[in-house]
Structure 1
């Protein structure tokens, strides 16, 4: 049975960002396939370990206000992915922008419980995950980002050159590692 290593405080929260069915819409992958096809399995392993040990879990749900968004409340994509489905009693916090800390009670919820360490996973690496991790780091949280439990999609850079999903993911991780978070693999979090 996997257990979480001792160095993580027992009240380390698992923060799952935007793991909703919306992300499977073909509009997201119009420039090419996503990276980390095993990301949901990594998320499921983290979630199972947190549940087994009774550690705090926060599911961040994107509630888009854009009429054509795949994340719009009431649309099929608004539902959580099966691998990240909250159980009754688990905390779900809705957000309307990319950072899970803007316009939500997340910071208050964490501080009220004495939580200073976060493990973050979710989508999209270079969007909501990065915005959330950067803000968490700026707010003084000790953040571990599970690199293989996140994914993104190909993008064109400013010059019009197509960057693969892996390139976009790796650059986003490089932006966060060290200053805002410690980037790790799921296996490093699970013994």
Structure 2
């Protein structure tokens, strides 16, 4: 009987582990450029919509993607996500301020753990400047190529070797060169 219970427990835990959300680590500029919206927002509240979906009421403090389209600065909007982190649901804390990125589903703003959603206090000074000064927004035509296992083949765009990718993620943007049409890491400190 004990072995049957043990087998059931192991099968359940394997099932839970295999259902976990899996995301590739991407440069914030890639997430910024691929997102339908990028905002800085204070979380005001949380409400379950269904047993599978919840929404966060947020006050938009900045719209980094476009100041001329919704969601507008100082408006209050809902951000929809799944209730389960295994299904890539985002957990935001009420009263804290985040940079939230994600896709739109119709007119609804959605967020998931595979997008760049980070508490503002955790941003590096470079990331704060890149958002505020538009380094990410102005350089979406530049491609960042993540290099798993450090196998980087030369080509267009900026290469991010995996062993040093966090340096690039935290301290650099892929920007068009002032002297040519090619893109390069700025600053080139990694």
Output the TM-score relative to the length of structure 1: 0.23
Structure of higher RCO (CA pairs closer than 8 Å, 6+ residues apart): 1
Q: Give the structure with the higher percent helix.
A: 1
Q: Give the structure with the higher percent strand.
A: 2
Output the TM-score relative to the length of structure 2: 0.23
